Amino acid sequence: MRIAMIGTGYVGLVSGACLSEFGHEVVCVDKDAGKVASLRAGGIPIFEPGLDEVVAANVKAGRLSFETDIAAAVKGASAVFIAVGTPSRRGDGHADLTYVFAAAEEIATSLTNYAVVVTKSTVPVGTSRKVEEIIRKANAKAEFDMASNPEFLREGSAIEDFRRPDRVVVGCDTDKAREVMREVYRPLYISETPIVFTSRETSELIKYAANAFLATKITFINEMATLCEKVGGDVQDVARGIGLDGRIGSKFLHAGPGFGGSCFPKDTLALVKTARGMGAPSQIVEAVVAVNDARKVEMAKKIETAFGGVKGKTVAVLGLTFKPNTDDMRDSPSLVIVPHLQAAGATVRAYDPEGRKEASKHLTLDYCDNAYQALDGADGVVILTEWNEFRALDLAKVKTLLKKPLMVDLRNIYRPAQMAQAGFRYISVGRADAGT
């Protein structure tokens, strides 16, 4: 099957590469000629473990190619995926559909045969209908059906998520469209992946509802962490105790500095705006958005308190991206915490294994080449992102490098008793402080 993927961002590039791995002929389209040239030369614009290998293998096999011309990509395609960005619109928080609608216009004039046009981007309920209207208005003779096929990829593990998804959700209205989409995902039948067919509106809502629910779990355990600190509880034991309940589950019950990334902040806000606009406000999700925003400020203040004030002090920060195994800085807690510390008079030195390039677009600070360089001469260290290489630091070396043996671990990757034994004053999230 020939597939056109409009957009080579995170969703488009990962989806296109993985679909080509399934055996389809995939053409990925981007307006940026420089980006396309780089992709053709083997350059990967994002950090995602394993993506470079999948792209290279399928380009070599002739199943994956890159284009700037939508018409060339769409010609002969059985499915045309729209996978462009839908950032939060400035001013009101609604999803900005400018790129989606622009892609629809170009697809309309490029369709020469029957195809299923698929919204892969995360879009508000009703967007698929609007895209259909745009295409029919621009090309009344176009033969096509619409489908909604939201992605559920986790940054850092996106390749395996695509290969072995929990489910595939497809919203469409015709048997012909369903057959095309079944063929797109036919390789997954081998692993008995459930394919959930729904209406388009339901499919669009499933994506937002799923992300809002997961964001709620994170926010809930963060609030329990604060309560644990007040009553002498241990949030990790609380998470384990409730997570073993099959009705709750253990995933997304990890206390920390608040959620960030390309999905949760944007999607929860878009759902809030959509729900209010439809006269069915989601008060739970509204609370999640507010609590998560406040959480990041609270964590900055927690660091200040741990340091006994940060004015005139050097704070070593390990990790800047919103999560490990990605270079994504979008809505990362560091974008709130670091400026707060700087405004309070701190000098911030930071190291992130992959995020330096993206972080430097947003944060002005002293960037270091490794963790120990960041620690050297600092008044204490803060762990903001749980990269694997931070899980087994040489604590004896860390202690000699720091002016004071102080660690604020906002990801709970060390054990309080271990840190106390190593001679550290150790502050984590939702657990008793350790050391003196």
Q: Does the pLDDT at position 90 exceed 80?
A: no
Residues 161 and 40 in one domain: yes
Residue 434: inside a domain, yes or no?
Answer: no
Cβ pair 122, 44 in contact under 8 A: no
Task: Output the six-digit token pair for 44.
Answer: 């990967």
Annotated catalytic residue, options 18, 228, 263, 368: 263
pLDDT higher than 80, residue 93: no
What is the arithmetic mean of pLDDT over 311-339? Answer: 97
- Do 38 and 148 reside in the same domain of the chain? yes
- In angstroms, the CA 333 to CA 320 distance is 8
d(CA 242, CA 239): 5
DSSP code for 434: B
Reported as a single tens digit per residue, the pLDDT across 382-436 is 999 999 999 999 999 999 999 999 999 999 999 999 999 999 999 999 999 998 7
Last residue of a domain, one of 259, 289, 319: 289
Q: What is the pLDDT of residues 196-215, one digit of tens each?
A: 999 999 999 999 999 999 99
| 203, part of any domain | no
Q: Is the pLDDT of residue 72 over 70?
A: yes
Q: What are the residues facing 351 on neighbouring strands? A: 318
Same domain, 312 and 376: yes
- pLDDT value of position 189: 81
Percentage of the residues of the chain whose pLDDT score is greater than 70 = 100
Tell me the pLDDT tens digit for each residue of 132-149: 999 999 999 999 999 999
Mean pLDDT of all residues in 338-342 = 98
In this prediction the pTM is 0.92
Q: Are residues 38 and 140 in the same domain?
A: yes
- Domain extent for 242: 208-289
The three-class DSSP label of residue 372 is helix
Largest Cα span, the chain: 75
**What's the rounded Cα separation, in Å, for the pair 327 and 259?**
15
For the beta carbon of residue 176, count every other beta carbon within 10 angstroms: 12
The conformation of residue 382, written as its DSSP 8-state character, comes to E
In a domain, 432, yes or no: no
The domain boundary residue, chosen from 198, 229, 247: 198
**Separation of alpha carbons 121 and 334, rounded Å:** 26
Same domain, 36 and 184: yes
Instruction: Tell me: do 34 and 10 sit in the same domain.
Output: yes
Mean pLDDT on 287-306: 97
Task: Note whether residue 233 is domain-resident.
Answer: yes
Q: Running DSSP on this structure, what letter comes out for residue 188?
A: G
Whether residues 58 and 182 share a domain: the answer is yes
Q: What per-residue confidence (pLDDT) applies to 192?
A: 84
Q: How far apart are CA 170 and CA 202, in angstroms?
A: 9
Integer Cα distance of 85 and 413 in angstroms:
33
Q: CA 67, CA 128: separation in Å to the nearest integer?
A: 24
Q: Looking at residue 162, which CATH number applies to its domain?
A: 3.40.50.720
CB distance 309 to 344 below 8 Å = yes
In the 8-state DSSP scheme, what is residue 233? -
End-to-end CA distance of the chain: 64
Place of tokens 């989601």: 282
Same domain, 164 and 233: no
Write the Ramachandran bin of 167: left for phi over 0, alpha for psi from -120 to 50, otherwise beta.
beta
28 is catalytic: no
Both 167 and 44 in a single domain?
Answer: yes
Exposed, middle or buried: residue 189 (CB in 10 Å: 0-12, 13-18, 19+)? exposed
| Averaged pLDDT score across all residues of the chain | 95
| Euclidean distance between CA atoms 55 and 11, whole angstroms | 14
CA distance 259 to 333: 7
What is the tally of structural domains in the chain? 3
Report if residue 435 sits inside a domain.
no
Boundary residue ending a domain (232, 264, 289): 289
Residue holding tokens 């629809």?
A: 104
Which CATH number covers residue 228? Answer: 1.10.1040.10
**177 inside domain:** yes
Exposure of 141 by Cβ count < 10 A (0-12 exposed, 13-18 middle, 19+ buried)? exposed
Q: Are residues 118 and 53 in the same domain?
A: yes
In a domain, residue 433? The reply is no
Tell me what pLDDT residue 91 has: 64
- Say if residue 89's pLDDT is above 80: no
Q: What is the mean pLDDT of residues 282-304?
A: 97
pLDDT per residue as tens digits for the range 226-250: 999 999 999 999 999 999 999 999 9
* Residues 44, 148 within the same domain: yes
Do 270 and 148 belong together in one domain? no
Distances (CA, A) of 14 to 24, 50, 182, 321: 14, 10, 19, 19
166 in any annotated domain: yes
